[in-house]
Structure formats: structure tokens, C-alpha cells
Amino acid sequence: MEKIIKFVIGTGILFAIDSISRSQAWHDKQTNTRSKTLEDYLTSRYLNIINEESDHTTYQSRRGRSNIDLTITNNRIIKYVKDLKVSKEESCSDHSIIKFDIAQDKNNWTQYNYTGKIY
């Protein structure tokens, strides 16, 4: 994450991650020790967790259900991310599909054209 943050400095950034951490801050029923480290890191980088409360969890398996998948933005793009929700659709995975829209306001948007390799 750190390399990506430095690479796109000055532009909007959105991360969709499997955090493997649980916290009431992102609407899980419990909080574990990993979440404190993640929360501290995100705060130090001025990043925002934009998960919204939902009847559906982002992860479910035979061992249980939780909200470990996070959508994270910086301040530059947060106002453009709309209608974030955990989908009821089958994902063929133990992780749920998270849907959102990104609005476009060309007056405040910086276009970035990268011609290198993307992994």
C-alpha cells in the first residue's frame, strides 16, 4: 500500500482489501488486535474506511461471518464514491461482492495516464 500511495500522490486512490482484521469501526460484531494496527496505519496516511453498515457481511464460511473486506479511499476521492453496498449476488467465493459507483466531476478530477505495466 505504501508504494501505491507514494506513486499516486496528489490523485484519488481507492483500495479494496481483504484486511483479515475485525473491528466495530467497520461494522463487525467484534474487534481483534490486528484491527488496531490497521486503524493506526490508515489514520497516519489520511485514509478512510468507507464501508457502510449492512445486513450482509463481506465474508462468510463454515467458521462464521465477518466484515473483513474493506473499501478504503483518500480524501481526494471519498466524495465521489457513492452507493457502496455488499451484494446479495453469488460470488463463487467466501467473500461477498462489494459494489459502488464512482461519480465524475470533471472540474475537480485529475486525469492520470500511466503507460507502464500494471500488475
Query: pLDDT for 37-68, tens place per residue?
Result: 999 999 999 999 999 999 999 999 999 999 99
Confirm whether 64 is domain-assigned: yes
Confirm whether 40 is domain-assigned: yes
Q: How many domains does the chain have?
A: 1
Confirm whether 115 is domain-assigned: no
Nearest 5°: phi and psi at 15?
A: -110, 135
Confirm whether 25 is domain-assigned: yes
Counting Cα atoms < 13 Å in the Cβ hemisphere of 70 gives 23
pLDDT reported for residue 86: 93
Confirm whether 92 is domain-assigned: yes
Confirm whether 62 is domain-assigned: yes
DSSP character string of 19-48: -----GGGT-S---HHHHHHHHHHHHTTEE
Q: Which CATH number is 95's domain given?
A: 3.60.10.10
Domain that holds residue 37: 2-102
Q: Is 80 exposed, middle or buried (0-12, 13-18, 19+ CB in 10 A)?
A: middle
Confirm whether 61 is domain-assigned: yes
Residues 6+ positions from 38 with CB-CB distance below 8 Å: 19, 21, 23
Confirm whether 113 is domain-assigned: no
Distance CA 37, CA 55 (A): 26
Low-confidence ranges of the chain (pLDDT < 50): 119
pLDDT reported for residue 115: 59
pLDDT reported for residue 119: 43
pLDDT reported for residue 110: 57
Closest CA to 71 of 3, 18, 20, 30: 18
